[in-house]
Amino acid sequence: MKLKFLGTGTSQGVPVIGCHCEVCRSTDPKDNRFRSSALVSTDNGEKILIDCGPDFRTQMLNNKEDHVDAVLLTHEHNDHVIGLDDLRPLIFRSKKNMDLYSNKRVGDEVKNRFPYAFADVKYPGAPSFNLHEIEGNFKLFDTEIIPVEVMHYKISVFGFRFKNLAYITDASYISEKEKEKLKNLDYLILNCIRKEELHPAHFILSQVLELFEELQPKKMYLTHISHHLGIHAETETELPNNVHLSYDGLELEF
């Protein structure tokens, strides 16, 4: 299986509109970050999208990706769901509804934000979705998916484990029970918004490094990165062995 990072930035993306810091002015492509999303390819070639934010169309075009078979939604914040309408050409070409997997709260929010996708009489150009409520481990295209429930300030968010890789974004707390699902990993992908100053809804660098020592994955990749984490090339050299910054377009095989 493979996971490709379609986006590794926060809700504002990097560069941030109107910001002139050294990160936002950087000419290194690794310092340009779309909103966080990932595309998982199964051993049989199915494509599972994790989150569908406002940059989805450009992400797919830039990576020359041309299909999605199902979507996993971590939570309902706009930077993770507002691009769902851009699934339309893939839905039209496949001639079937797109399957979306989330908890019930997120599914209800999708209905509220895209009511035209669920109308009894649809506009002919509207997208069409099948909502599936996640209530525990499940199989998708013969791939077992283990949801990992974490807290993003005061709301629950799903991370997902596939085989020996786990992807978690928008987390500020992981319970001991859920940490058990994160043992014996080759890859732990975890959000890290900045180096210093605690954030109420996201991990910062010192916290993710503590989790790296506690959970001991073979490798950790940081995502959901803001311009406050610093220049990619410089920050990468400051990290411990086997802890790395992700960047848009990076692909991991697992």
pLDDT tens sequence across 104-144: 999 999 999 999 999 999 899 999 999 999 999 999 999 99
Closest CA relative to residue 166, chosen from 207, 220, 121 = 220
Residue 90's domain is classified under what CATH number?
3.60.15.10
Closest CA relative to residue 74, chosen from 97, 47, 98, 106 = 106
Q: Which residues form the domain of 234?
A: 2-253
pLDDT for residue 173? 98
User: Could you count the other beta carbons within 10 Å of the beta carbon of residue 26?
Assistant: 17
H/E stretch holding 188 reads strand 187-191
User: Could you count the other beta carbons within 10 Å of the beta carbon of residue 123?
Assistant: 8
CA atoms within 13 A on the CB side of 67: 11
Q: What is the pLDDT of residues 185-219, one digit of tens each?
A: 999 999 999 999 999 999 999 999 999 999 999 99
Residue 161's pLDDT band, with cuts at 50, 70 and 90, is very high
Q: What is the pLDDT of residues 44-75, one digit of tens each?
A: 999 999 999 999 999 999 999 999 999 999 99
pLDDT for residue 213? 98
Count of structural domains within the chain: 1
**C-alpha span between 112 and 47 (Å, rounded):** 26
